[in-house]
Structure 1
């Protein structure tokens, strides 16, 4: 009877060990996938930030009266460069929020710069400007794709480490959920737009 109990305990230990190591390996694989997808997001944001000085200098030659907009773009780019976040810091909501806000500010500043450039037909006809705008548009598309892949990878990782028995292994390893991109103004987009054709 005693040997039968020992056998059952041994089988349970082997099964538990198998589950632990399987979950451990899966967590590591998914964590690496999150890090890789985050690297791609950073790569595309860096590409955009690298385009900004050339774009500002090109616009500066034509839009001499738009100093405030040019300063906003330059300041937003500097802020983006000052906030660094690596894959190990993706569990920090405050840092992630600062990173996301800086990127959003740069997007807004670039939108204002593009709107201002519409007032300068010579600038819009400039081939360097057209090339930079084409590169910027392509980069914005790449950012969207990279963020989408990151969102999917983080969703898979967070779901995986929250399910049992993986949650127990994740807790032992100190794994936490990764931060996810959010909509800049979630409350505003959740409200139905007011449409009034009478005015």
Structure 2
């Protein structure tokens, strides 16, 4: 009788370990899927930037510093791998700030603002920024689920045994990026 009980207990523990392992695998895959979604949107934005820079360049040739900064940051982003989430988030934040300055420059040129090409590019960039925000939310939610599972008992026992690690959030480190912009009339 005791042998059957021990055998049933071992079998129950094995089934529990398999269930926990599969749940961890699923969560890790969701993190990878989330990162892929962010990466796709960031590439769409990076591909739009040269057209935007060229459009602005025709109207605002003396704003070369802003144009160069946007171009340099785009090149830096294009050369980064997806492994360094924190580094990528930092550079992407700087690129977002530079794009904001580029649009501020555009405000000074009524002909540029009225240009249909610029308007279309601006609208496309707004749509991409919204998609990036949604992708970041999904990714960070998947990261949260994985990190909770990696740290919670009893799944942490399986996570430690099979080398599941916490993932990094895709977040803005610079407080200036989070600040609400000042608007004065």
Aligned-pair CA distance for 1:11: 1.5
Inter-partner Cα distance in structure 2 for 1:104 and 1:183: 6
Check conservation: 2:86, 2:169, Cα contact below 8 A: no
Residue-pair matches, total? 180
CA change 1:62–1:189 in 2 (3 A) is: closer
TM-score by length of 1: 0.85
Deviation at 1:182, TM superposition (A): 2.8
Q: Which of 101, 113, 116 is the equivalent residue of 1:124?
A: 113
Q: TM-score normalised to the size of structure 2?
A: 0.91
- Counterpart for residue 36 of structure 2: 39
Cα offset, 1:105, TM superposition: 1.2
Unaligned runs of 5+ in 2: 181-185
Q: Does 2:96 align with 1:107?
A: yes
Cα shift readout 1:124-153 (whole Å, capped 9, x = no counterpart): 111000000000011111111110111111
**Change in 2 beyond 3 A, CA 1:23/1:44:** same
RMSD: 1.9
Q: Could you say what secondary structure the match of 1:129 adopts?
A: helix
Q: Secondary structure at the match of 2:165?
A: coil
Give 1:8 deviation, angstroms. Answer: 2.6
User: In the alignment, which residue of structure 2 is the partner of 1:21?
Assistant: 18
Structure 1: where are the runs of 5+ without partners?
A: 90-94, 194-199
Within 1, Cα distance between the matches of 2:152 and 2:91?
33
Structure 2 residue 124 is matched with structure 1 residue 140: no
Q: Distance in 2 between matches of 1:188 and 1:57?
A: 25
The alignment status of 1:82 with 2:79, answered yes or no, reads yes
Larger Rg: 1
**Equivalent position of 2:87 in the other structure:** 98
Correspondence list, 1:49-198, <5 A: 49-85=46-82, 89=83, 95-186=84-175
